[in-house]
A = this chain, B = another copy of it.
Amino acid sequence: MKPQITLSATLKSISAILWLFILISSKPVTGQNTVKGTKATAALVVETIIKNTGAAPIPNTVDVFKEGNPETTVTGIVSCMFATMDVLKQAVSKNCNLIITHEPVYYNHLDETSQLQNDSVFLEKRRYINDHKLIIWRFHDYIHSMKPDGVLSGMITKLGWKQYAANDQLDRFIFPETTLKSFVEKLKKTFPQNPFYIVGNPEMKLTKVYLAPGAPGGGSHIQLLEDKNVDVLITGESPQWETYEYARDATSQGRKKAVIFLGHIPSEESGMVFCSQWLKTFIKDIPVYFISCGPSYWAY
C-alpha cells in the first residue's frame, strides 16, 4: 500500500515533533535545575548536582555521602580535590558544612574504614567532622561522566590549551612540533611545585598529546600509548611496574612514545575549580568556594 499524506497524519507528525522537543528540553542539562533560597538540604543540593551533570545513573558509584546527615541544611559549599584536615578546617572557618571532594576521605578508593577503627589519625579526623557537623559527598564518577569531563574542562582552562584541542571530549591535542624536553619545560611553568616523573627520550619530536588525568590504570595507559595518534600521554600517576616499564621498553625499541606523570593532584585539582564555578550557575543563594588541598609531598 502506497503511503498517503493526510491532514490527520500531518497533525500527528507535528504533535510527535512537539513531544520530542519537549522530551529533549526536559532532559536535565547544566543550568536547568537550580537550587534557590538558603534552606536547601545537602540531599537536595547533591540530587540537583547529579541531575545537572546530565549523566545516566551510575551503578555502584563511589559518589555517595561519606559523612554527615544529608538532611542538614547547607550553610555553604566547599569543592576540593582531597578533604584533608586542613581543607576541613578552612571550610569550617568559612562557615561551610557541605564538602564536595573528588577523592576519598579515608585513604582508599572505597573509603572502607573497618580496618581503621583503632587508628588515631582516622579517629581524630572523624571526630573533627562530627564535632563540626560536616557533610561530605564524593564527586568523582559523575563529574568524569559530564560531556566534556568536568575535570578535563577545568584542566584545559588551567593549561590554556583550548586552541590545541583536537576533539570535543577535550582529551586529545595537536601542538606545533616540539621536543619532549621543550614541551616539559613549558608545562613546568603551569605546575612549578614538584618535579614530574617522565619516561621518554628528551629529544623526541612530538605533536600529538593525550591528557588522562588521575590514575586510570596501567591497562588504560597502555591502550592509549598503542594509539598511533598519541605521541605523549600526560597523566597523574601509575604503578611503576606498569605504565613506566611499558613506556621504557617502547622508547628502547625506538618508538616515538613518552609519558609525563604530573602527580595525581596537579593532574586533576583544577577540575574542582571548574566544579565550584559550575555549581554557582545553578546554586543561587548558598556560598560556594574552591579550596586547594595543595601537594601532599615535597621532593628532594
Which A residues contact B (CB, under 8 angstroms)?
82, 84-86, 103-104, 107-109, 115-116, 118-121, 124-125, 184-185, 188, 194-199, 202, 215, 218-219, 222, 225-226, 236-237, 239-250, 252-253, 255, 261, 263-265, 296-300
Contact = CB atoms under 8 A, between A and B. Distances in A.
Contacts of A195: 195, 299-300
A249 B121 contact: yes
A220 to B, nearest CB: 11
Given A104-B241, A108-B242, A240-B263, A85 B249 contact: yes
A134 to B, nearest CB: 15
A237 B239 contact: yes
Contacts of A118: 226
Contact of A198 (B115, B120, B248, B300): B300
A235 B82 CA distance: 23
A16 to B, nearest CB: 46
Contacts of A296: 199, 240, 244-245, 247-248
Given A196-B299, A241-B264, A244-B296, 10 more contacts: A84-B248, A104-B241, A107-B218, A109-B241, A121-B253, A198-B298, A236-B240, A245-B296, A247-B296, A261-B297
